Homo-oligomer: A and B are copies of this chain.
């Protein structure tokens, strides 16, 4: 996954627990984001617990730009999103993560420098922080249980960034060995094989219903997304059933 391309900065504002900083780094890197800034971390920097938690994403912490104030962290940015669950008396556009990350991608493509702010664990961002943002992001959580933690909020935003890049495979068929689709000929041969063995054993009874029963049986096989390997296995299973227990 490209980490060279243009991407939003994720800015953790006054994060408290090192574990959460580490988990946020992991969540970013899960979706290919690796530019973190940290403003006024409560327990100083570097943070040992953050490093332990980040494990495979520790590089993000090593490379994180740390500052005392949010103003410093945003010195070179041109468009800022603030993630917040609560809106507090400020007039401001409020976007879904999906819309926000689509807009971020547009702005980055146009040469802007975009940041996303994430507030401290308990209180979230202060009005003073939010006033520096061009727009707010609110995750459409259950209003009866809107308790996303910091790393979850980072995860969902990073996921929407990944989605905004497109190129996601929405549906494909995983093909195991022999997993290519059975052909009309394969299905025909199998349906005929089964029909003949059943016919020999008097399955299609009474005679006036036989034609309908055969049609329904063929329809069953045609409706199934069978592979060539499936059909081979069915032939084998039928031969073995015919052979019987004692042979």
Contact = CB atoms under 8 A, between A and B. Distances in A.
Interface stretch (A65-73, A162-170, A194-202): A162-170
Interface in A89-108: 89-96, 98-99
A118 interface: no
Nearest to A26: B147
Given A91-B175, A179-B91, A98 B141 contact: no
A143 interface: yes
Given A1-B142, A32-B142, A159 B162 contact: no
Interface in A19-51: 26-27, 29-32
A90 B27 contact: no
A156 interface: yes
Nearest to A159: B156
A135 to B, nearest CB: 9
A143 B91 contact: no
B141 A30 contact: yes
User: Oligomeric state, in number of copies?
Assistant: 2
A242 interface: no
Interface in A151-174: 152, 155-156, 159, 162-163, 168-174
A185 interface: no
A168 B145 contact: no
A152 B27 contact: yes
Contact of A93 (B96, B139, B173): B173
Contacts of A96: 168-171
Of the candidates A30, A95, A155, the one having the most CB atoms from chain B within 10 angstroms of its own CB is: A30
A234 interface: no
28 contacts: A1-B144, A26-B147, A27-B152, A29-B142, A30-B142, A30-B148, A31-B142, A57-B145, A90-B174, A90-B176, A91-B174, A93-B174, A94-B172, A94-B173, A94-B174, A95-B170, A95-B171, A96-B169, A98-B163, A98-B168, A99-B170, A136-B174, A140-B168, A141-B162, A152-B152, A152-B155, A156-B159, A159-B159
Interface of A: 1, 26-27, 29-32, 56-57, 87, 89-96, 98-99, 136, 139-148, 152, 155-156, 159, 162-163, 168-177, 179, 227, 229
Closest 5 CB pairs of A and B: A91-B179, A99-B170, A1-B142, A32-B142, A89-B176
